[in-house]
Amino acid sequence: MSFARSRLSTCILVCFALSACDESDLPDNGGPPAYPSARHGLRDLVVTPGSTVIALSAPDLLVAYKDDQRLAWTHRLPPNQPVIAAPVVSADSTTFVLTARQLRALAPNGELKYSVTLPFDGQKPASKSSSPVRHSLVVLPDSSAVVADGERTLICVRGGKIVWRHALPAPAKMTARPVAGPNGSVYVRTSAWIYCVGHQGALRWRVPLRSPR
């Protein structure tokens, strides 16, 4: 009986220890204890085709880690230019970052490839009360980047230059973030239609959203 009670006490102690353990108690493998903690509500995370992990560590700082947990690079954004959309990565491992004034393209080593000042519509950048669609960012297969400016306009940047703008017909407004297709088109949803904007910025087609009968 004493042996049984001893085993039961041991099991209770082990279970208690496991329940009190969390991730902070786990040993690391020699790399950093964790990826940088996101602060100020920034929790965006992207991964390149080469498995480099890129995160916003602060409103003006991006950090990148290789898959073996070694620090790959850091990139400091210009002052007073907070990031207003989740970063995206293209097939050639270019990282695109959208700030309140610029679209910035970073090379795989974190160096700035180019920055483009965007002719935003003058409305306030994304805020807690604004639409989640406003100033979203998608990337096309050829590494062009398309920015949703407000709720009606798309801006395409290719090779460091603005190559086209496309405005939806009034009063249509985007109700979801644009989606990039493998054919280079951008797909936009409004409350009543789906629009397909082609690689050169012209409307390819639109179809109505029909209610089921």
Q: Mean pLDDT across the stretch 74-85?
A: 87
pLDDT of 142 higher than 60: yes
pLDDT of 184 higher than 70: yes
pLDDT on residue 19: 38
The CA distance from 86 to 81, in Å, is: 14
Q: Is residue 18 part of a domain?
A: no
pLDDT on residue 40: 43
pLDDT of 14 higher than 50: no
Answer for the pair 81, 120: CB distance below 8 angstroms, yes or no: no
Q: Is residue 22 part of a domain?
A: no
Domain that holds residue 70: 30-208
Q: Mean pLDDT across the stretch 120-126?
A: 54
Residue-wise burial string across 10-22, b where 16 or more C-beta atoms lie within 10 A, e elsewhere: eeeeeeeeeeeee
Q: Is residue 154 part of a domain?
A: yes
Domain count, the chain: 1
pLDDT level of residue 180 (50, 70, 90 thresholds): very high
pLDDT of 41 higher than 90: no
Answer for the pair 203, 165: CB distance below 8 angstroms, yes or no: no
Instruction: Report the CATH number that the domain containing residue 102 is assigned in CATH.
Output: 2.120.10.30
For 55, counting Cβ atoms within 10 Å of its Cβ (0-12 exposed, 13-18 middle, 19+ buried), the class is buried
Q: Is residue 3 part of a domain?
A: no
The CA distance from 105 to 119, in Å, is: 17
Reading the block at residue 146, the tokens are 């398309």
Identify the weakest region by mean pLDDT among 13-22, 55-64, 66-75: 13-22
Q: Is residue 130 part of a domain?
A: yes
Q: Is residue 68 part of a domain?
A: yes
Q: Mean pLDDT across the stretch 64-90?
A: 90
Q: Mean pLDDT across the stretch 184-201?
A: 94
